[in-house]
Each structure stands twice: as C-alpha cells, then as structure tokens.
Amino acid sequence: MPSDYSLDDIVQRTLNVGILTQPQINEIWAEIGLKSPTSEQFLQTSLRRGLLTNYQVDRLTSGESFGFFFGPYKALYLVGAGTFARVFRTVHRETSEIVAVKVLRARFSDNEAFINHFMTEAKIVSELIHPNIVPVHGADSHGFLHYMAMEFVEGQTLREFLKIRKKVEARTVAQIGIDICSGLEYAWRTKKLPHRDLKLSNILLSSSGQAKIVDFGLASIAQEKIGAEIPFLKNQQSIDYIALEKAANAPKMDTRSDLYFLGCILYQLLSGQSPFLETKDRTKRMDRNRFFNVKPLQQIESGIPGSFSFIVNKALMVNADQRYQTPSEMLVDLRGVLKRLDAGNADETAASLRFDGIQALQRDRESRIQKIDTATVMIIDANPKIQKGLENLMAKLGYKTLCVREPDEMMKLFEENDLAAQCIIFNAQSLGMRAVRAFNDFAQRRGLRDVAAILLLDPGQADWADSVTPQHHRIVLTMPVTVKQFRNSMTWLLEGFGKKNR
C-alpha cells in the first residue's frame, strides 16, 4: 500500500475526514513503538488493529476527501455495485450497529426525478415488514449525496451460493422458493408492488439459510413513473421483463412476471443451468425466442422430483394466463412439494399436488365464508344512474353493495380479497358484450367458481344469452325485471348465505 503522502499528512487526513480519533491514533503510536515510523507502518498497524479498513486506506492514500461517511454511517467497505447505486457495509458511529447503505451513483445525483424516485422507493420499501424482504431503515440526502440504510445480511447472494454448490438439492431449493414467494406475496398483497428485477444476485441467503429479497422498488417504480424522463433508465431497465411481457403480450407491473423469473431461479438452482442464454447483448435479450426455446426442467435434470418439475415448468409458461396467477397460488404448491419431500413422496403426480393445494385453499375459504353475516353484491355498470338504482335496490333487499365501472376493477378486488362479494351483477345494458365476456371469464376462475352471478341484458340483447354457459348459480335476466323477480332470484342464488338474506 505505497503512499505518496508523508506520515504527518496521512495522520492529519484521518483526523480531517473523521475516520480516526486522537485517542485511536495514540494507540497506534504506542503499538508501533518506533521513533521514526513510516506512513505504511502506520496504516498497516491501523489495519491490523481493525481501526481502518482497506477501503478506507485506499481512499486516504488516493487523496479522496469524501466517501468515508454517509450521514451517521461510517463506510467500512464496498459490498456491491449496480446500475443505479453502490452498496456499502457501514457502522453507525453512535450505536455501532452494522448496516448496509445503498448510495445513489453520482451520474443520477443531480437528477431531481431520479432522486425523488430513490426517496420514494425508500419510503415504500420501509413499509414492507416481512422476514423475507431486506428491511429499509430510512433514507437521507446531504448535498449531492443520497442514500438509504438497510439491514446488513450476513451471508451471500444466491449467485455466489450457486457458484460454489453448482447444483442445490431439492429440499433446500423448495425452502428458498417458499421464502422468495412469501416475500413476493406479501409485497403484492399489501402494496401491489412487483419486484421487476428478480434474479439470483437480488436474493440474499443469510448465514442461517433464510432467503431475503433485496432491491424492491428501483426497477418497478422507475419503469412505471420516471423511465420516460431518464432515457438511460428506459434503455437499461428490466430488459428481461420487458422482453418477456412483449413475447407474452402481457401487461407491465404484473406480478406474474415476477413468478416467471422466480421459476428461472428455481430452474437454475436445481439444474445448475440458466433456462436460457444469459447475455449482456440487448438485442439478444429482447429476442422472444429465448422464452419459447426453454427446455423442460426434467429434460435437463432427470433426478428432480416430478412434483417440483411441475411447479417450475408451470411458472415458466410464456403465456401469462397459463402461469401461476398470484404468488399465493404458487406458494401453496411450493409448500406442498416441501411437505412431500419431507415425507419422501415428492414423485407423486402433479395432479395430486394440485389437488391437495386446492383442497387446503377451499377449506380455508369455506371457514371464512361461515363468518360472513351479510352477503355483498358487486355491481359492474358503467352508467352511474343505473348503478345507483341497482345499489338502492340491493340495499332494499338487505344486501351490502360494492360498485365498480369495469370488469378489470372487479378482478383487482378479488385478487386482494377472494370474498370481496358473494354475488356479481354484470350489466350488459351499459357494458355491452364486455359484460358477457367478463361473465363467462369469471365462471372459469379457479377458487371463485362458487360466487353467484347475474347477467343483465336489454331486450335487444336477448340473443346474447345463447353465448353464455348456463350454471345453476349463474343466471341471465332480460329486462324488464320486477323487484319481486329480483328478490326471488337473489334469494335462490344466495340461499342460506348470511343471517340477513331474504
């Protein structure tokens, strides 16, 4: 560690930047015990005593006057660097707590849009309190320095873990998958926040073996809110996600994209191989054929239990509608395969795995249904006047109501709460054929097939009834319909549901 600085210069610099105190310097002098020590001897002794780190010494000897402190946190060494920020292991100067600090790169430090985004990310992620998400303690700015403080996880990234292991045994992978999926499920359920950059290097594996997701926010919020304001972001952000959604003709900010890349992580851990070519070439990464040419996991690694292969292959379906639709759905299967691995019967059929998972969900749903006092009727109608009339009618019949204008709004509500309503009224009088399509689509939704539904048609739309698959608890009513007819229909559809139904 040769230095162009004299001993006096080095000592003075440690005091000027605040990296050493005078009592600590006196300790170093006492240990050296030489009349004419050199700057190298001073620095070597500081390193040996743990008073300085190699990172700090490099900055001292290169003449840097910043980068030693981020607010109350003293930088010990650099632990990671990404497109947007660098991450340091630090120690709080007062509490001595070891903390990871993510510092925004200088190229973004004068861009107000990105700074606002960075702070927004910190605020949103700080509200995610979950054992499988690395917690953010807070964020601050000092001039052109912008940083956020996070828990420091003693361990390694999954990429580093896999590099050592080459392949990982199925039970360990199942537990890692459960940890990741649990974090995704929590963030989606509570904040509707997808990760948008899920990969091996963004999963930390603690020394106890617990997987924790890091970097929630930068990719998802940036792409949605400020990508257009920062061309660099637009060109670099979540390329694999953009390519997948383009290939699948799927929407952005969709949790199913995270589940695809969770499938990629599981595939890599189990087989030791990426499901597709990993490259930094943007053109190759945007090639949709990457996703269509993925070999089924069992063709790569025949020893993987069949029920686990089923989960991974389902997660890697290019068509988003054929993938797991929510993290909670995938979580049920991952827990099921872990149970089978522990019991020694993981090679049971995929159908058995699905059946057990569906049974568990159904039992839970039935238990929650029993606790509902009064049934809720959801009205889907784009005409405020008609919507209000139906709302008043439902109140008169003794039901709670929930009104939305579009079928998409309905599905968002059911994603958040599968008991959002016990009956749905699709009004084709204002929605037209969209109501018919939504009525048919909802009938196919697994886990929601017991929800009653009414399709309202105008007399001129009566022929549309032929395009509806009849079911005992999903009916078509052609206007005009009397209050008595409505009451009888509702009573029949919701028979025995809630104490106040009539």
Distance CA 452, CA 472 (A): 9
10 Å CB burial of residue 122 (0-12, 13-18, 19+) is buried
Residue % of the chain over a pLDDT of 90: 41
Domain ranges of the chain: 7-151, 156-367, 376-493
- How many Å separate Cα 216 from the centre of its chain? 7
Report helix, strand or coil for 477: strand
Helix (H) or strand (E) holding 257: helix 255-271
Q: Say how many residues make up the chain.
A: 502
CATH number of 156-367: 1.10.510.10
Q: Mean per-residue pLDDT for 133-140?
A: 91
Residue 205 contacts residue 157 (beta carbons within 8 Å): yes
pLDDT for the residue 360: 54
Helix (H) or strand (E) holding 427: strand 423-427
202, β-bridge pairs: none
pLDDT for the residue 361: 53
Structure tokens at 340: 């089978």
pLDDT for the residue 144: 85
pLDDT for the residue 226: 44
Higher pLDDT, 26 or 231: 26
Is residue 233 scored above 80 in pLDDT? no
**What are the pLDDT digits (tens) for 240-280?**
888 888 888 888 778 899 999 999 999 999 999 999 877 77
CATH top-level class of 7-151: alpha beta
Is residue 498 scored above 60 in pLDDT? no
CATH top-level class of 376-493: alpha beta
Is residue 370 scored above 80 in pLDDT? no
Is residue 132 scored above 90 in pLDDT? yes
Collect all residues with Cβ–Cβ distance below 8 Å to 438 and sequence separation of at least 6: 380, 407, 410, 426, 431
**What are the pLDDT digits (tens) for 298-354?**
888 888 888 898 899 999 998 888 899 999 999 999 998 998 888 877 665 444 545
Is residue 164 scored above 80 in pLDDT? yes
Residue 365 — pLDDT band, cuts 50, 70, 90? low
Report helix, strand or coil for 273: coil
The predicted model scores a pTM of: 0.65
**What are the pLDDT digits (tens) for 1-52?**
555 778 889 999 999 999 999 999 999 998 888 778 888 899 999 999 999 9
Higher pLDDT, 105 or 4: 105
Is residue 494 scored above 90 in pLDDT? no
Distance CA 371, CA 387 (A): 28
Secondary structure letter of residue 248 according to DSSP: H
Residue 418 — pLDDT band, cuts 50, 70, 90? confident
Residue 380 contacts residue 441 (beta carbons within 8 Å): no
Report helix, strand or coil for 335: helix
List the one residue out of 268, 266, 366, 277 whose CA is nearest residue 307.
266
Q: Mean per-residue pLDDT for 113-129?
A: 82
Q: Mean per-residue pLDDT for 145-162?
A: 93
Structure tokens at 146: 């912008």
Q: Mean per-residue pLDDT for 128-137?
A: 92
pLDDT for the residue 234: 45
